[in-house]
Amino acid sequence: MKYNNKKPLAALLTLALMFLFVFPMGNPAQAAPADINLEVKSAIMVEAKTGRVLYKMNEDEALPPASMTKMMTELLVLEAVKSGKITWEDPVKTSEYGHWMGRYGGSRVYLGLGEVRTVKELYEAMAIYSANDATVMLAEHISGTEENFAKLMNQKAADLGMVNSYYVTSTGYPASGLKQFLPNAEGDNLMTAKDSAILAREIITKYPEALEISSIPRKFFRGEDSPQKVRMDNWNFMLPSLVYGFEGVDGLKTGHTDAAKYCFTGTAERNGMRIITVVMGAQTEAKRFAETRKLMTHGFNNFKMQTVATKGQAIEGFETVDVKKGKELLASAVSEVDMAVPVRIGEEDKYKPVVVTEEVIAPIEKGQSIGKITVEYTGEDPYEFLRPVDQEQATVNLVAQEEIEEAGWIRLFFRAIKNFIGGIFDSITGMF
């Protein structure tokens, strides 16, 4: 007797397909564990627009930041250009210190004594190639001496709420290795992963043009046709065209010294969400990028931006706001702008807009702020921000949709009588 093997096989395939549809396999992209098990000393990941913390590990431990220090120099240069204190075309003449760094200072573009380069050229050498000689010349150009510039760095850190950071040099180069140029200051550069994220976010949000330079994979200093050209390969090997390329990466700064090991403050944008990651104290160059990849993959696979309030639309439950002394007693209220926040995928319904109203007294102009919209999260994960000020600023205005004129005294008088009589009846009713 012969058996037909095709029927059992078909039945088995049908059963398998039913299993897949009824019990679908989990999406591996959304299955990353909360504990990423990073092999670094400290780390943090934040969403750039709001400053919400998405992951952290030893984020407040002050460690040597190596060349990530240069992010503070970048910020101060960008501020000086914006304020008009300096320009991109300013000529900068190389000092003895700059020339010494050009001979002995680690990553460098070999600035000659007295060589003149523009602020823009020096900034590119610093941001792309982490050139120490270019960096100290920018510091001297702004403040006269690196020592004075370090004071600016520390003041800026304090202004930004970077409470666990301390700067001695503009470069992150170990102060003890500067020999005759040893700064007149105690200790050495220190920064936490959290402070590094604060600094990176300040650069990205205030000066997004900085990413246009930090994303350049390579460029020639002095020009490709110069016999003294220096090929500046970007140390950020996670730029999409480089060896550890990761989609969306366009910054920001690597660092390495014997004390710091390998560090990296990275940033990437995908699907309308930008994240900032910091890893400090990785054992190898490859490891700092591998651990950053873990962070970024976890961030993009587990979080997304979600609009919780739409420009010109009312918030459910807060469609109107009480108005005092107005011809009308209620003002229609809408969101002034779109409000998008990072949410955990799978928990989209746990983020709700809520309104904190202000005392509203007529007259009211159309578009006038009459409250604040914030977000309520009902899930179990902590909803943390980099700084208290970031949490305070994670709001948008609720605005009046139309003009409301102030009521005249006669209207207010009779309204007061009506309210008085109504109050009496309410009291009497309450007695029975």
Q: Catalytic one among 41, 70, 294, 325?
A: 70
Q: Is 70 a catalytic residue?
A: yes
Distances (CA, A) of 402 to 15, 366, 418: 61, 4, 26
Q: Which residues contact 131 (CB under 8 A, 6 or more apart)?
A: 107, 108, 109, 122, 125, 221, 232
How large is the C-alpha radius of gyration of the chain?
A: 29
Residue 342, judged by CB atoms within 10 A of its CB (0-12, 13-18, 19+), counts as buried
Q: Is 130 a catalytic residue?
A: yes
Q: Is 67 a catalytic residue?
A: yes
Helix (H, G, I), strand (E, B) or coil at 95: coil
- Buried b / exposed e over 365-386, threshold 16 CB at 10 Å, is eeeebbbebbbebeeeeebebb
Q: What is the 3-state secondary structure (H, E, C) of 236-269?
A: CCCCCCCCCCCCCEEEEEEEEECCCEEEEEEEEE
The residues annotated with a catalytic role in the active site are: 67, 70, 130
